[in-house]
Amino acid sequence: MTRAHTTYALGLDHAVLGGWSEAAGHHRDAVGQFRRIGMPHMQGSALLGLGEALTELGEGVEARTCLRQVLDLGDAVDRAVLTGARKLLGSLPAE
Protein backbone atom coordinates (compact mmCIF):
# COMPACT_ATOMS: atom_id res chain seq x y z
CA MET A 1 0.00 0.00 0.00
CA THR A 2 1.32 3.43 -0.95
CA ARG A 3 1.13 6.66 1.02
CA ALA A 4 -1.58 7.73 -1.43
CA HIS A 5 -3.71 4.73 -0.47
CA THR A 6 -3.29 5.55 3.21
CA THR A 7 -4.27 9.17 2.62
CA TYR A 8 -7.31 8.04 0.66
CA ALA A 9 -8.31 5.62 3.44
CA LEU A 10 -8.08 8.43 6.00
CA GLY A 11 -10.45 10.45 3.83
CA LEU A 12 -12.92 7.58 3.80
CA ASP A 13 -12.67 7.19 7.58
CA HIS A 14 -13.36 10.86 8.19
CA ALA A 15 -16.30 10.78 5.78
CA VAL A 16 -17.87 7.85 7.64
CA LEU A 17 -17.52 9.83 10.87
CA GLY A 18 -19.02 12.98 9.31
CA GLY A 19 -15.73 14.89 9.39
CA TRP A 20 -16.28 16.36 5.96
CA SER A 21 -13.60 19.03 6.12
CA GLU A 22 -10.96 16.50 7.13
CA ALA A 23 -12.25 14.05 4.52
CA ALA A 24 -11.98 16.72 1.83
CA GLY A 25 -8.40 17.51 2.83
CA HIS A 26 -7.29 13.89 2.73
CA HIS A 27 -9.08 13.19 -0.55
CA ARG A 28 -7.61 16.34 -2.10
CA ASP A 29 -4.12 15.18 -1.10
CA ALA A 30 -4.82 11.66 -2.38
CA VAL A 31 -5.96 12.98 -5.76
CA GLY A 32 -2.63 14.73 -6.24
CA GLN A 33 -0.64 11.75 -5.02
CA PHE A 34 -2.46 9.30 -7.29
CA ARG A 35 -2.02 11.68 -10.22
CA ARG A 36 1.72 11.92 -9.58
CA ILE A 37 2.24 8.15 -9.38
CA GLY A 38 0.03 7.43 -12.40
CA MET A 39 -2.92 5.61 -10.85
CA PRO A 40 -5.94 7.10 -12.64
CA HIS A 41 -8.35 4.46 -11.32
CA MET A 42 -7.54 5.48 -7.74
CA GLN A 43 -7.44 9.15 -8.69
CA GLY A 44 -11.05 8.77 -9.81
CA SER A 45 -12.04 7.18 -6.51
CA ALA A 46 -10.37 9.97 -4.57
CA LEU A 47 -12.05 12.59 -6.78
CA LEU A 48 -15.42 11.00 -6.07
CA GLY A 49 -14.69 11.06 -2.33
CA LEU A 50 -13.64 14.70 -2.61
CA GLY A 51 -16.80 15.52 -4.56
CA GLU A 52 -18.94 13.87 -1.87
CA ALA A 53 -17.16 15.74 0.93
CA LEU A 54 -17.42 19.07 -0.89
CA THR A 55 -21.11 18.47 -1.51
CA GLU A 56 -21.64 17.91 2.20
CA LEU A 57 -19.72 21.12 2.91
CA GLY A 58 -21.96 23.09 0.54
CA GLU A 59 -19.19 23.62 -2.02
CA GLY A 60 -21.25 22.62 -5.04
CA VAL A 61 -19.17 24.39 -7.69
CA GLU A 62 -15.94 22.70 -6.65
CA ALA A 63 -17.75 19.38 -6.14
CA ARG A 64 -19.11 19.58 -9.68
CA THR A 65 -15.58 20.18 -11.02
CA CYS A 66 -14.27 17.09 -9.19
CA LEU A 67 -17.12 14.92 -10.42
CA ARG A 68 -16.60 16.05 -14.02
CA GLN A 69 -12.94 15.11 -13.68
CA VAL A 70 -14.03 11.60 -12.65
CA LEU A 71 -16.13 11.35 -15.81
CA ASP A 72 -13.23 12.67 -17.90
CA LEU A 73 -11.09 9.75 -16.69
CA GLY A 74 -13.57 7.43 -18.43
CA ASP A 75 -12.55 3.81 -18.80
CA ALA A 76 -9.57 4.26 -16.47
CA VAL A 77 -12.05 4.44 -13.59
CA ASP A 78 -14.11 1.64 -12.08
CA ARG A 79 -17.69 1.54 -13.37
CA ALA A 80 -19.12 1.95 -9.84
CA VAL A 81 -17.07 5.13 -9.39
CA LEU A 82 -18.36 6.50 -12.70
CA THR A 83 -21.92 5.65 -11.69
CA GLY A 84 -21.46 7.32 -8.30
CA ALA A 85 -20.05 10.44 -9.92
CA ARG A 86 -22.94 10.65 -12.39
CA LYS A 87 -25.50 10.14 -9.64
CA LEU A 88 -23.99 12.77 -7.34
CA LEU A 89 -23.54 15.20 -10.21
CA GLY A 90 -27.20 14.76 -11.12
CA SER A 91 -28.25 15.50 -7.55
CA LEU A 92 -26.47 18.85 -7.38
CA PRO A 93 -28.52 22.00 -7.96
CA ALA A 94 -28.19 23.60 -11.38
CA GLU A 95 -25.35 26.09 -11.70
Contact 43, 81 (CB under 8 A): no
Chain segment 41-89, per-residue pLDDT in tens: 999 999 999 999 999 999 999 999 999 999 999 999 999 999 999 999 9
The CATH number of 3-90 is 1.25.40.10
Report the C-alpha gap between 95 and 81 in whole angstroms. Answer: 23
Report the C-alpha gap between 2 and 36 in whole angstroms. Answer: 12
pTM as predicted: 0.96
